[in-house]
Amino acid sequence: MAIETACHAFPWTQKTMEGCLAGRYFNGALYVDEQLAGFYVGERAGPDNTLMDICIAPEFQGNGLAKALLQDFVTRSETMSAENLFLEVRASNKAAIGLYEQAGFIESGIRKNYYPSHDGKEDAILMALALCFMGSS
């Protein structure tokens, strides 16, 4: 929760976080010198996975750790035979959008006035990545 709160102006609640650590959810964590540096929460829904949250503690940002966590999410999704990956991101979060685009995600839609912001509401950019699997001959 400390990383979640440090990373987001409008963080998840403790109850939401606890709910996302069970059931159809899965997560990954990244440690630096035995200190939790970041995490992600993914959700399995049918044949698809959704990246629900990804955070790097502020003191570890700018070192490529988010890229490593995102790659872990993609690789784990491949091992789960997910067909598509989805996520949503604040329209103002240009750094995250760039990270997702580098990983192959493309914009698939917009949710108008989705996120709370200090100025009212902010759009969410929906992004998707299709995973392809080669069947055996």
Residues in the annotated binding site for acetyl-CoA: 93
d(CA 112, CA 11): 19
CB 29 within 8 A of CB 19: no
Based on the residue annotation, tell me whether 100 is a catalytic residue of this protein: yes
**Could you tell me which residues are annotated as the binding site?**
93
Q: Give the H/E segment covering residue 18.
A: helix 14-19
d(CA 40, CA 97): 16
Strands 84-90 and 35-45: unpaired
Catalytic residue among 4, 25, 34, 100: 100
d(CA 5, CA 3): 5
Based on the residue annotation, tell me whether 101 is a catalytic residue of this protein: no
Catalytic residue among 4, 40, 88, 115: 88
- For the annotated catalytic residues, the residue numbers are 88, 100
